[in-house]
Structure 1
Amino acid sequence: MAAPAGIDMNELDSNPRYLIRQPRALQWFEDGRLVKRHESERQAGRFELFLDLLYVAILSNFADTFVEDITGANLVKYILILAPSWHVWSDIRELMNSFYNDDLIQRILILWLMALLVVYGNNAPLVSEDIGAMRSAVGSYMVARLSCTIAHFYYSFASYHHRPQQRLWVVLSLVSLAIFIPLYFESVSIRGKIATAAVAVVFEELSWIFCFSPAAKKMLRVKYSTAVDIPHEVDRYAAFYIIALGEFLYLIVVGSHAAVGLNERLLRAVWTLIIAFCLNWLYVHADGSVVSTHPLRHSVFTAFSWSLIHLPLIASLLAGGHVAAVSVEEEGFEDAQRWLLCEGLGVGMLCLWVFAVLHGSQDEPGTLALDKHLRMIMRPITAVIVILIPLARHLGATSVLSIIMALFVLCVVWESITSLRCGAHIWERWSETDYPERRRGDDTFKNGPGRELPSQEPSQKEPSP
């Protein structure tokens, strides 16, 4: 099927023809066959990346508030305020993935959402202390999601390709927003509000899964259905993962707590950097296969699982990374901090193991040094050991970070070596290191006098009379 005419992607960079463009579906399924408006690979837009900058501050604020007072109640609050911010980010990601045209409306929508997120990010950590903060946080979140819902509803008139599923998502989103209403009332107990928020968050996740699942397509009996631009989707999730890893790095420099000279705090800062680097390495490495099917392409189950695993992955690494970075500022760990550090990094490593398992290896047996499950075995082993480290209460902050760093480095080294092809060598033999002119001169010398190689310059002929 030929790609339909639509937006010229080159128009999005400069000299647009219209200030407000018609929203057009960029990809969709038609009778089960994937159709794309443009074959070129699309990356995240500049304004999407600008939105990510705000999340750096929001996530840091959430983690900092949690680490200041680590209790079971604050853990629940941390999860319940992080999940809604993730849902707003997911809403705008879905919209840009399916209908990106970078016009005036989309840019203003991003600015509007960012303004609402500023309100949410400032008030969400205080929801358990002040009813005004509760109302401000819930109100800003509901308006943000309602804005995305209205955008989807508006776009459903402009393009028929996703229309039934979009409108189903709009209805279910409005239902989920209604669940948050009891949070405005002082008469509702804090436990009741926690239960209400938990139900609403879970309902939002299930609604998203159902609306874009084959079950919804079958129920709606659609000819045209939603499809995902996989490179853009992978790029956006990776960007959010990097934001979480940024929590490891920010506090190891800000405030100059590791100065002056070589000291134990500097050592903890370097160990924290190495841990974050290894986590990034493992995410990029995935399952290490030569030929691998991404979970978004493999099956419906792996696609939804891959998307959903990112929330616990980011939540755990965000909390654990903040504690690791804070250790540079403080003399040692309290028991609660030690547990949060190890459980956060351990759960994060388990999520990375699931992340790798979801990738479908297409390699023939014997292609790599070890099969996939043996290559990945160090991830769950490392996770279990890290989770159990707090039982050794005599270990100080430097010792704990040293052990975690060593385990993560061992995991990276193991996967890097076992993911080599069979018969691989450590060093690649160097070749073509000399300038081409010198190589030609050597060849001329070897051929002996009078046996020069033919000249590379074109022969000159006398002009015809």
Structure 2
Amino acid sequence: MSSTLPGRRRRPQELLLPNGKKIIVTLPEDLEDIRRKYQNDRDTQVEVVVHGSIEHSQYLRQSRDHHEERRQLLREQHGPAFEEWEDIQNQLSSVTTELERLENQASGLYGNFNKFGYDAAVRTYNDEEPPIASSHTSISEKSREQGGERHGETTKLFKRPVIRQWFHQGLLWRASEQTEIMAIELFLDLVYVGIIHSNGEHMAEEATGYELLRFVITFVMTWRIWTSITLTLSWFESDDVVTRLEILFCISCLIGYTTNMTHIFDEDPAHNTYVQLVSFYLAARVFTAIFYGMTAYLLPMIKGIMICQIFGTAIPTALWIASIYVDMPGRLGFIVPALVLDMYGHVFFLGLFLYIQGKAPEGIWKKRLSSMFEFYPAISIEHRVERMNAFVSLVLGYSVVAILFQSDGGYNINAFLGKAILGLMQAFTFNWIYFDIDASNLNLHAIRRSRISAGIWEFAHLMFVMGYIVATSALSRLVLATDVPDTNPEQLAEPYRDSAEDHFNAGVRFFYCHGLAIALLSMGAISFSHEHKKLPMLRLSKNVRLANRIAVCIVMFFLPLAHSLRSLSLISVTLSLSIWVLIVELWGKSCTDDPFIGEKDGCCVTYYAKCKKKDLKKITSSHERRPSGEILELGRGEKTAI
């Protein structure tokens, strides 16, 4: 038998074995508290196990075997009466289970698996204990609770962080409900998009290799701050006042960082802002490390991982501090490894976790490390993907804002407006490819597919956003260029008139074309990292379509060498290449048996077969996976069921 004890989130369960031993089943975060509670109980035998662990499964099987023996004994004693009672009980349980499945279908893992792909190693826990399927009373009580008065929630000053999902013994445990994005996260994304576009606009004003180096360094540093906040919010559920103040502090550091990032390579010490830039950056990073230290104290189950995160912050911090005392170009010898460790230092600790869980030799060190790394916090795939989708939407949308200008009176339909509209079409095309081509028909999302594909997905997004910012920053200069007819600077308002020039240097040309090439190639890498559904009779396979993208990227990469192309022609050619990629993707993803123009019937293949009843019974009783289909039984004398 089992009962429920009062508690927070999923309540600990009591499982009573036939020998009288009591088993307490709890979540990992409450494991130590429950053990301390029962360690002095000498009257009864008590063992505390983690929900979903091997021990939990073994005890459940032991209890099931015991009750099956009791059921067999009752069947022998009561005969047909027991059979009839059991049949009614099974039917009632089946109907009750189906009703509960219909009620919870929207909040379970069905939508998650359908969107991101199936993973057999994913398990869920519920915030509240589900009702007993065989009890009609439990359904009535649940209905009364749902139909009764619903109380609101209050915002607390501080709450202990709660892990949203974690890895334990090869399984991923997560909540069954979908993770929603908080409004403050969208606020952070909007602020960050404005910062990186501002950084890119300054780079385009002086389109040189030195300025590009400054942009790459400062962009990656801001990306690290943004991803740190995103990772923390994905790991932990802590919707309180303190959490919001922590995010506000990090955003404040980001603002202070932004005000000092354009003169970090200034040769005049009086105007150089590198020290100030590093100070604001380290303030955000060290603050995050302090948060990890507090979390290690509040959540001992993930203490080992949090300590590793602290070390992962401390080592590059030392390099950043050392770089302050070195002049350029020797300073790059500290900046580059510090950036690499900041971005990918966690890969070492992840590898250590996997080594301990798998190939590490048995011994006292493995036992100690296994206890420290028994639980590893995991990101929520919905939260991570939706955050990235929202961020990419903001990046693409803000790129259109960056090319806007104001006319100085009159009804002016000129080349300035034409180039701006072409820039809009460029952003629209990239948005179409990213969301409706690469992110559709997924069989397995890159994050769920493998660790390597997840790493490719993360790195490709970094390169995609950085390349696209470089391209759109140069595009803002091309839009205001007066090197083509019908571009009279007098038709522009005063602030934009000063930026209008009759020529643009080679750096702008290279930034625009190479930025688009890198962005398009990165989108191809993102698509490659996913496993898409293999529709039958596709016109072009995924590899062929990706090869087309690579060819277009090569053309874009060498396009700046065509010095005869003016601003309007350059924008038109790159837009034509992007549209070509879109057309190939749309046509290639269609099926030969489904018309590309006209009503869509869907891509399907129908097979007809006939077999004997004994063969059909053998197939349907097999546990092997078989294709789904409709079975039509023929009567005597019938030759077809169609």
Same fold (TM > 0.5):
yes
2:531 — aligned with what?
360
Contact map agreement 1:289 1:372 (CA 8 A) in 2: no
1:143 aligned onto 2:283: yes
Structure 1, residues 372-426: CA drift from partner, whole Å, max 9, x if none? 1123332112111111111111110000100111111111121112112342232
CA distance in 2, matches of 1:303, 1:167: 24
CA distance in 2, matches of 1:161, 1:287: 38
2:112 — aligned with what?
none
1:337 aligned onto 2:508: yes
After superposition, the Cα gap between the structure-2 partners of 1:134 and 1:255, relative to the gap in structure 1 and judged at 3 Å, is farther
2:294 — aligned with what?
154
Contact map agreement 1:217 1:225 (CA 8 A) in 2: no
Query: Which structure ranks higher in relative contact order (CA pairs < 8 Å, sequence separation ≥ 6)?
Result: 1
After superposition, the Cα gap between the structure-2 partners of 1:31 and 1:350, relative to the gap in structure 1 and judged at 3 Å, is same
**Identity over the aligned pairs, expressed in percent?**
23
SS of residue matched to 1:327 = helix
1:421 — aligned with what?
591
1:227 aligned onto 2:378: yes
1:23 — aligned with what?
161
Shift of 1:161: 4.6
2:612 — aligned with what?
none
1:55 aligned onto 2:192: yes
Q: In the alignment, which of 472, 483, 495 is matched to residue 321 of structure 1?
A: 472
CA distance in 1, matches of 2:289, 2:437: 33
Larger Rg: 2
Count of residues in Structure 1 that have an aligned counterpart in Structure 2? 419
After superposition, the Cα gap between the structure-2 partners of 1:168 and 1:406, relative to the gap in structure 1 and judged at 3 Å, is same
Q: In the alignment, which of 253, 262, 286 is matched to residue 125 of structure 1?
A: 262
1:3 — aligned with what?
125
CA distance in 1, matches of 2:409, 2:304: 56
CA distance in 1, matches of 2:153, 2:308: 36
Q: Which amino acid aligns with 1:316?
A: G
Q: Which amino acid aligns with 1:34?
A: L
1:192 aligned onto 2:330: yes
Q: Which amino acid aligns with 1:235?
A: E
2:204 — aligned with what?
67
1:270 — aligned with what?
421
SS of residue matched to 1:261 = coil
Q: In the alignment, which of 343, 346, 357 is matched to residue 208 of structure 1?
A: 346
Tell me which moved more, 351-360 or 418-427: 418-427
**Structure 1 stretches of at least 4 aligned residues deviating more than 4 Å after TM superposition:** 256-260
Shift of 1:235: 1.4
CA distance in 1, matches of 2:178, 2:591: 29
Contact map agreement 1:323 1:341 (CA 8 A) in 2: yes
The CA RMSD measured in Å over matched residues stands at 2.3
Contact map agreement 1:66 1:74 (CA 8 A) in 2: yes
1:244 — aligned with what?
395
Shift of 1:152: 1.7
CA distance in 2, matches of 1:351, 1:5: 39
1:441 — aligned with what?
none
CA distance in 2, matches of 1:260, 1:208: 56
Contact map agreement 1:320 1:340 (CA 8 A) in 2: yes
Shift of 1:60: 1.8
CA distance in 2, matches of 1:56, 1:399: 29
Q: In the alignment, which of 563, 574, 582 is matched to residue 404 of structure 1?
A: 574
SS of residue matched to 1:126 = coil
1:294 aligned onto 2:445: yes
1:104 — aligned with what?
241
Contact map agreement 1:182 1:196 (CA 8 A) in 2: yes
1:255 — aligned with what?
406
Tell me which moved more, 217-226 or 349-358: 217-226
After superposition, the Cα gap between the structure-2 partners of 1:415 and 1:57, relative to the gap in structure 1 and judged at 3 Å, is same
After superposition, the Cα gap between the structure-2 partners of 1:258 and 1:128, relative to the gap in structure 1 and judged at 3 Å, is farther
After superposition, the Cα gap between the structure-2 partners of 1:328 and 1:178, relative to the gap in structure 1 and judged at 3 Å, is same
1:450 — aligned with what?
none
Contact map agreement 1:248 1:324 (CA 8 A) in 2: no
Shift of 1:315: 1.0
SS of residue matched to 1:162 = helix
Contact map agreement 1:25 1:99 (CA 8 A) in 2: yes
Which consecutive unaligned segments of at least 5 residues does structure 1 have? 7-12, 431-465
1:448 — aligned with what?
none
Structure 1, residues 165-197: CA drift from partner, whole Å, max 9, x if none? 221111121111111012333xx2111222211
SS of residue matched to 1:29 = strand
Shift of 1:283: 1.3
Contact map agreement 2:203 2:473 (CA 8 A) in 1: no
Q: In the alignment, which of 524, 549, 563 is matched to residue 379 of structure 1?
A: 549
Q: Which amino acid aligns with 1:166?
A: M
Shift of 1:225: 1.5
CA distance in 2, matches of 1:116, 1:418: 47
1:306 aligned onto 2:453: no
Contact map agreement 2:155 2:240 (CA 8 A) in 1: no
CA distance in 2, matches of 1:429, 1:420: 10
1:180 aligned onto 2:320: yes
Q: Which amino acid aligns with 1:194?
A: L
Q: Which amino acid aligns with 2:329?
A: R
Tell me which moved more, 19-28 or 415-424: 415-424
Tell me which moved more, 256-265 or 23-32: 256-265
Q: Which amino acid aligns with 2:435?
A: V
Q: Which has the higher helix share?
A: 1
Q: In the alignment, which of 173, 194, 198 is matched to residue 35 of structure 1?
A: 173
Shift of 1:282: 1.5
Contact map agreement 2:126 2:176 (CA 8 A) in 1: no
After superposition, the Cα gap between the structure-2 partners of 1:273 and 1:299, relative to the gap in structure 1 and judged at 3 Å, is same
Shift of 1:77: 1.1
Contact map agreement 1:257 1:265 (CA 8 A) in 2: no
1:76 — aligned with what?
213
Structure 1, residues 39-61: CA drift from partner, whole Å, max 9, x if none? 11113210011111211221122
Structure 1, residues 248-277: CA drift from partner, whole Å, max 9, x if none? 211332434898432111111011111111
